[in-house]
Amino acid sequence: MLHYFSYGIGKEKGQGIIEYALILVLIAMVVIVVLAIFGDVLNEAYCNILTTIGGEGGAACAAF
């Protein structure tokens, strides 16, 4: 009878790795969605910063 209760204990080792992988996939999906929604705004802000600082980066943003 004790064998039935202790059967699942050894199988929980890989469960933690799978949970971490699922969390990483969820975070990656959220980042992709946020970049898809706010990508143009972030690109414009980045180009404004490069233009303000000066240098070749501002010229590269003008191509977009």
Tokens 């000066």 -> residue: 54
Q: What pLDDT does 27 receive? A: 98
CA distance 43 to 34: 13
* Number of domains present in the structure of the chain: 1
Q: Are 47 and 58 in contact (CB under 8 A)?
A: yes
CA distance 16 to 46: 38
Q: Whole-model pTM?
A: 0.55
Band (1; pLDDT cuts 50, 70, 90): low
Q: Which amino acid is at 25?
A: V
Range of the structural domain that residue 42 is part of: 2-62
Residues 17-43: pLDDT tens digits?
A: 889 999 999 999 999 999 999 988 988
Tokens 């202790």 -> residue: 6
